[in-house]
Amino acid sequence: MSKTSEEHSLLVLENYIGGKFVSCRSYIDSYDPSTGEVYCKVPHSGKEEVDAAVAAAKEAFPEWSARSPEQRAKILHKLADLIEANLEEFAQAESKDQGKTITAARTVDIPRAAYNFRFFSTSMLHHTTDCSPMDHMGCLNYTVRCPVGVAGLISPWNLPLYLLTWKIAPAIAAGNTVVAKPSEMTSVTAWMLCKLIQQAGVPPGVVNIVFGSGPRAGDALVSHPEVPLISFTGSTATAQRITERSAPYCKKLSLELGGKNPAIIFADADLDQCIETTVRSSFLNQGEICLCTSRIYVERSIYSEFLERFVAAAKKWKTGVPSDPSSKNGALISKEHLEKVRSYIALAKSEGGIIHCGEGLDQLDLPEHNKSGYFMPTTVITGISDSSRVMQEEIFGPVTCISPFDTEDEAVARGNGVRYGLSATVWSKDVGKVHRVAQRLQAGLVWTNCWLVKSITIKH
Least Å from the CB of residue 33 to ligand NDP: 13
How far is C-alpha 163 from the chain's CA centre?
A: 6
Helix (H/G/I), strand (E/B), else coil: 319: strand
256 is catalytic: yes
Least Å from the CB of residue 146 to ligand NDP: 25
Least Å from the CB of residue 183 to ligand NDP: 4
Q: Which amino acid is at 344?
A: Y
Q: 431 exposed, middle or buried (CB, 10 Å; 0-12, 13-18, 19+)? A: exposed
How far is C-alpha 178 from the chain's CA centre?
A: 19
The one catalytic residue among 14, 256, 276, 351: 256
Nearer to ligand NDP, 214 or 322 (CB): 214
- According to DSSP, residue 329 is labeled B
Nearer to ligand NDP, 177 or 231 (CB): 231
Strand order in the sheet with 207-209: 20-22, 15-17, 207-209, 177-181, 150-154, 229-233, 252-256
Nearer to ligand NDP, 182 or 353 (CB): 182
Nearer to ligand NDP, 181 or 280 (CB): 181
Least Å from the CB of residue 243 to ligand NDP: 10
Nearer to ligand NDP, 65 or 155 (CB): 155
- Cα gap 61→415, rounded to integer Å: 45
The number of CA neighbours under 13 Å toward the Cβ of 289 is 21
Closest C-alpha among 13, 169, 189 to residue 90: 189
| Phi, psi for residue 382 in degrees, rounded to 5 | -130, 175
- Cα gap 381→257, rounded to integer Å: 24
Interface ranges with ligand NDP (CB under 6 A): 154-158, 163, 181, 183-185, 213-215, 218-219, 222, 233-235, 238, 241-242, 256-259, 290, 394, 396, 422
416 touches 438 (CB < 8 A): no
Nearer to ligand NDP, 422 or 452 (CB): 422
Least Å from the CB of residue 216 to ligand NDP: 8
- Cα gap 293→308, rounded to integer Å: 18
Least Å from the CB of residue 220 to ligand NDP: 8
DSSP 121-145: HHHHHT----EEE-SSTT-EEE---
400 touches 282 (CB < 8 A): yes
Active site residues: 256
